[in-house]
Amino acid sequence: QFRALAPMYYRGSAAAIIVYDITKEETFSTLKNWVKELRQHGPPNIVVAIAGNKCDLNDVREVMEKDAKDYADSIHAIFVETSAKNAININELFIEISRRIPSTDTNPASSGKGFKLRRQPSVTKRSCC
């Protein structure tokens, strides 16, 4: 149901985090479809991160960390296993993404798109009608 809306969010994105559940193999298979769609419809220089969530449930793991890491490496994506429940590697994930996003010049004057605002005295006309 969300797949139809996804391209709207891809446009202009600097990064994307695609999450799968390490305890459910089918979510890792689905992740590959999301990556393919992102590559087709997203910006060419988008930073992609793959997050294997629920690393706190290692005893019921279905997706091996090495398999996920190898896949991430093959598509030049960031890879990290996380636990949203226990806040494991969440900050690290965002820090790594921020390191890989190219910096942009935020000075509007140097981009050629800026302009200067000036206050102009207002001219008031007095009229009875």
**pTM for the full predicted model:** 0.75
CA distance 94 to 15: 10
pLDDT at 11: 79
Q: What is the pLDDT along the chain (129 residues), one digit of tens a residue?
A: 566 666 777 778 899 999 999 999 999 999 999 999 899 888 989 999 999 999 999 999 999 999 999 999 999 999 999 999 999 999 999 999 999 998 865 555 545 555 566 676 666 566 665
Nearest one of 21, 18, 62 to 42, comparing CA atoms: 18
**Identity of the amino acid at 121:** P
pLDDT at 30: 95
CA distance 3 to 63: 23
pLDDT at 36: 92
pLDDT at 122: 60
Residue with tokens 């390490």: 22
| CATH superfamily placement of domain 6-101 | P-loop containing nucleotide triphosphate hydrolases (3.40.50.300)
Q: Where are the domains of the chain?
A: 6-101
pLDDT at 102: 85
Give CA separation, 36 vs 31, 39, 111, in Å: 9, 5, 33
